[in-house]
Chains A and B, each alone.
Chain A
Amino acid sequence: MLVLTCPYCGVAAEETELHAGGEAHLKRFGPGASDEDFTGYLFGRENPKGVHFERWLHANGCGKWFHAARCTATLELFGTYSAQLTEPPEPIRKAISAKRPGWRWREFS
């Protein structure tokens, strides 16, 4: 079972306490955007086998959304961070680089 530490309340929350919210840091497109951009935002996903940044809701806890960096191939957790950040912070990137040298994920690597 996944255990993610909520960066807001500090609780090491088990998977049953959380709700997965899918890929994080999506670039949003709205009115005026091209059909391709809008489709990409709504449906296109990285879906990597490896390092993945995603959103989680501490549903049966403090109720806050937060971000997590996780490996989808091993279920390893690299860390969690605030939902207010628009990209993964330096400590998270370093934690990933230490275990997955040469990792890449969009423009964040």
Chain B
Amino acid sequence: MKRYSAFAVAREAMTYHQGWERAWRSPEPRDAYEVIVIGAGGHGLATAYYLGREHGIKNVAVIEKGWLGGGNTGRNTTIIRSNYLQDPSAAIYEKARALYEDLSQDLNYNIMFSPRGVMMVAQTHHEVRGYQRTAHANALQGVTTEFITPERVKELCPIIEINGPRYPVLGALWQARGGTARHDAVAWGYARKCSDMGMDIIQKTEVTGIRQKNGVVTGVETSRGPINCKKLCIVVAGHSSQLAEMAGFRLPIESVALQALVSEPIKPCMDVVVMANTVHGYLSQSDKGEMVIGGGTDGFNNYTQRGSFHHIEETVRALTETFPMLARLKMLRQWGGIVDMTGDRSPILSTTPLGNTFVNCGWGTGGFKAIPGSGFAMAELVARGEPGPLAAAFSLGRFTEGRFIDESVAAGVAH
């Protein structure tokens, strides 16, 4: 692998940039691997990467039905934060945020991490109390957040209307080291490193069955023939239930559509990320100048990667009251992704009823921010066969034991 650097750009310029190699190989699948990861999104690729880097397991294939990073990794609003209430959530999301800090250097790939600060505005007294509680919890967890006044909100984000009649801003939970990153680059950067370690990333190959013997996985059937493996890791977000069915168990997951939209590009006007949970909307400005707006989920099971229009309407209607200048903007694009929702809105990183088979799913509406931490914890689980400290609380068994990590109550809607 050629290292990317300013010198490399200068060197390649000598040959009119004809010498750049492909960032990752597209090999034919081999007959067998030690570990197969199903799903080449951010979480799957990160799992493969940390399996190689932390545990020395490099005989790995990552199998992808579509194209690399083409699912929810390429469809989210790129927000990174770790200001969660519950301890297990704060631990794994803070691990992810910390890994994001130097991920560009680690991967030798510019993921454009921009710790511009994330504020979750409180627009009801209930939210004020909730976020103050979260700020105290974060202080105990070692996550740096603070509760700030409406005046400070206005200072950090001048375009916000803090005295609106319906949705006045009463304060905000501020995480200065939260921010955004280039979502595609995260997948591409991991893929490049995985490929460099000798792992095979096999795109446009659908897993159609899971082979097992005596309750232990032996391989997968794919649209390009069978591939054997010793361990299997299912990391497929919205389609987790289908893969689980192939493996012979059920998951506490329901798949629904989550939408986002972007406006026409405008001059820089907002250099923080604002989340307004009362009005079900979150907002940031991309480097291209588009206002990136995330909305709510549909209430019904859906695999169509498009959502209901009335959710867009609700999101935009409420956001224009909090950000009056948005009312003049035209919206350019709208899209949806299929998110895997669990009952307690926390993820599942777990062993499964099928031997040597592991599942990483349930990230619901907030998976992007967790990619490095999720991959790190999952690699540990796959390599050792039992969860490390980050993944332990997120087992499937918590639904039987009533040991929920209830972020749905703690955080309202947006994750």
Interface residues of A (CB under 8 A from B): 1-2, 15-16, 19-20, 22-23, 35-36, 39-40, 42-49, 52, 54, 70, 72-75
Report whether B399 and A42 are in contact in the complex, using a CB–CB cutoff of 8 Å. yes
A47:B309 contact, CB within 8 angstroms:
no
Contact across chains for B308 and A73 when beta carbons are under 8 A apart: no
Question: What per-residue 1/0 map shows which CB atoms of B279-304 lie under 8 Å from chain A?
Answer: 00000000000000000001111111
Q: Given the known A-B contacts A1-B310, A49-B239, are A44 and B250 also in contact in the complex, defined by CB atoms under 8 Å?
A: yes
Contact between chains at B241 and A39 (CB < 8 Å): no
Residues of B within 8 A of A73 (CB): 303-304
Distance (whole angstroms) from the CB of A2 to the closest CB of chain B: 7
Tell me which residues from 324 to 376 in chain B have a Cβ below 8 Å from any Cβ of chain A.
Answer: 342-343
Residues in B lying within 8 Å of A, measured CB to CB: 239, 241-242, 250-255, 298-304, 308-310, 342-343, 399-400
The number of A-B residue pairs with CB atoms under 8 Å apart is 66
A46 x B252 contact (CB < 8 A)? no
Q: For residue B255, which residue of chain A has the nearest CB? A: A47
On whether the beta carbons of B308 and A2 are closer than 8 Å, the reply is yes
A75→B302 contact, CB < 8 A:
yes
The answer on a CB contact under 8 Å between B399 and A48 is no
Contact in complex: A39, B310 (CB < 8 Å): no
Given known A39-B399, A46-B241, A72-B301, contact A22–B254 (CB-CB < 8 A): yes
Q: Give chain B residues whose Cβ lies under 8 Å from the Cβ of A36.
A: 400
* Contact among A22, A42, A45 for B253, CB-based, below 8 A: A45
- Given that A1-B308, A2-B308, A54-B301 are contacting pairs, would A47 and B254 also be in contact in the complex, using a CB cutoff of 8 Å? yes
CB distance from A95 to the nearest CB of B (A): 19
Separation in Å of the B364 CB from the closest CB of chain A? 13
| 20 chain-A/chain-B pairs, Cβ below 8 angstroms | A2-B300, A20-B298, A23-B301, A39-B252, A39-B400, A42-B343, A43-B252, A43-B399, A45-B251, A46-B241, A46-B250, A49-B242, A52-B301, A54-B300, A70-B300, A72-B301, A72-B303, A73-B303, A74-B304, A75-B304
In the A-B complex, the 4 residue pairs with the closest CB atoms: A43-B252, A47-B241, A20-B299, A20-B300
What are the residues of chain A within 8 A of B304 when measuring CB–CB? 72-75
- Interface centre among B254, B303, B399, by most A CB within 10 Å? B303
Closest to B241 in A: A47
Query: Do A47 and B300 form a contact, CB below 8 Å, given A2-B308, A15-B310?
Result: no
Query: Are the C-beta atoms of A40 and B241 separated by less than 8 Å?
Result: no
In the bound assembly, the distance between CA atoms of A39 and B300 in angstroms comes to 21
Q: A44 touching B251 by the CB < 8 A rule?
A: yes
> Which residues of B lie under 8 Å from residue A75 when comparing CB positions?
302, 304
A47 x B251 contact (CB < 8 A): yes
The docked-state distance in angstroms from the alpha carbon of A1 to that of B307 is 9
On whether the beta carbons of B241 and A45 are closer than 8 Å, the reply is yes
Among B239, B300, B303, B400, which residue has the most Cβ atoms of chain A within 10 A?
A: B300
- B307 nearest CB across to chain A (Å): 11
Which residues of B lie under 8 Å from residue A22 when comparing CB positions? 254, 301
Cα–Cα, bound, A48→B252 (Å): 12
CB distance from A18 to the nearest CB of B (A): 9
Query: CA A66 – CA B242 in complex, angstroms?
Result: 27
Task: With CB as the reference atom, state the residue of chain A lying closest to B344.
Answer: A43
> Once the chains bind, are A47 and B302 in contact (CB under 8 Å)?
no
State how many angstroms separate the Cβ of A17 from the closest Cβ of chain B.
Answer: 10
**Which B residues lie within 8 Å of A52 (CB)?**
301
- CB contact between A1 and one of B251, B309, B400 (< 8 Å): that residue: B309
Q: Which residues of B contact A40 (CB under 8 A)?
A: 250
Bound CA span A49–B242, Å: 8
A74 CB contacts on chain B under 8 angstroms:
304
Residues of A within 8 A of B251 (CB): 44-45, 47
Shortest distance between the CB of A42 and any CB in chain B (Å): 7
User: Closest CB-CB distance, A50 to chain B, in whole Å?
Assistant: 8
**In angstroms, how far is the closest chain B Cβ from the Cβ of A102?**
16
